[in-house]
Amino acid sequence: MISALNGALDDIFRAMKLRRVWIALAHEDIGDQHRRTTLGPLWLLVNYLAFAGTFIFVFQPAGKDAAGYSAYVAIGLMVWFYLMEVISLSVPLFKREESFIEGTTLPLFVYVMRLTVQSAIRAGYAVAGCVIILLISGPALTPAWLWSLAGLLLILVTTPALITVFAFTGAFFPDSEFIVGNLMRVGMFFTPVFWVYNGRDAIQTYAYLWNPFSYFLDVARIPILIGEFPSNAFAVTGTAALVMWAIALLLLGRYRRQVVFLI
């Protein structure tokens, strides 16, 4: 156990020294994805606004709660799209980086951080879109919004661990790419992204209380919508982060040298 932890930390520390490499690769990825397009990466902002606007238009209730629902959906979609992208792209990560892994001696965590930075950049455009909707829908700007920022930072800190765990899952079980992809698509409807938890419907209650994604949404959503510190959401999300990091370090320490034989 100790040797595995030391091996994982060594891989992480060596990757951190190469931060210019994975930052440059992440920026190159974003550029390649939008090469020769008119708007470039601004399409990420347009896509988010179009998707959020459609959900708000179709599902928003009539009356005084319409503005609050717009903010509710905007924040929920922002966080959900980020988590869905991170998890979906993590499963085939090592297969996607096969040529680098086989042809270089870069630490394995470099590829984890490459995807982390790439996802963070893409999410930045969604954050900008979310801010636009919040300004239009009109929730009052209060100091409690800083708790929402703290929640987003907690999700960001958890991201490398999520990527590591799901990347190893994809390496050991290739079918998991399709399983995880389908689960994430279905999971959107079992997560309070656009529906509001009312505490009465039994299925809805189960989908909310026993769904860890609900709490990832709440750490960013509750401070802005209610102006309160979501202690329960932070506790659950923080615990999930610690568990994911523990598993990630164990996998990275024990199996980082075996990945090349699995892909």
The per-residue pLDDT for range 97-123, each reduced to its tens digit, is: 888 888 888 899 999 999 999 999 999
pTM greater than the 0.85 cutoff: yes
* CB-CB contact of 111 with 94 (8 Å): yes
The per-residue pLDDT for range 77-90, each reduced to its tens digit, is: 999 999 999 999 99
Residue 247 tokens read as 């598993």
Domain count along the chain: 1
Tell how far CA 223 is from the center of its chain: 19
Please state the φ and ψ torsions of residue 45, each to the nearest 5 degrees.
-70, -45
The per-residue pLDDT for range 114-165, each reduced to its tens digit, is: 999 999 999 999 999 999 998 888 777 888 889 999 999 999 999 999 999 9
Domain of residue 82 covers 2-262
- Flag whether pLDDT at 64 surpasses 60: no
Helix (H), strand (E), coil (C) string for 229-243: CCHHHHHHHHHHHHH
Closest-CA residue to 117 (of 17, 22, 244)? 22
- Flag whether pLDDT at 1 surpasses 80: no
Tell how far CA 87 is from the center of its chain: 7
Closest-CA residue to 221 (of 40, 92, 74, 109)? 74
* CB-CB contact of 93 with 220 (8 Å): no
User: In the structure, what pLDDT confidence band is assigned to residue 67 with cuts at 50, 70 and 90?
Assistant: low
pLDDT at 65: 64
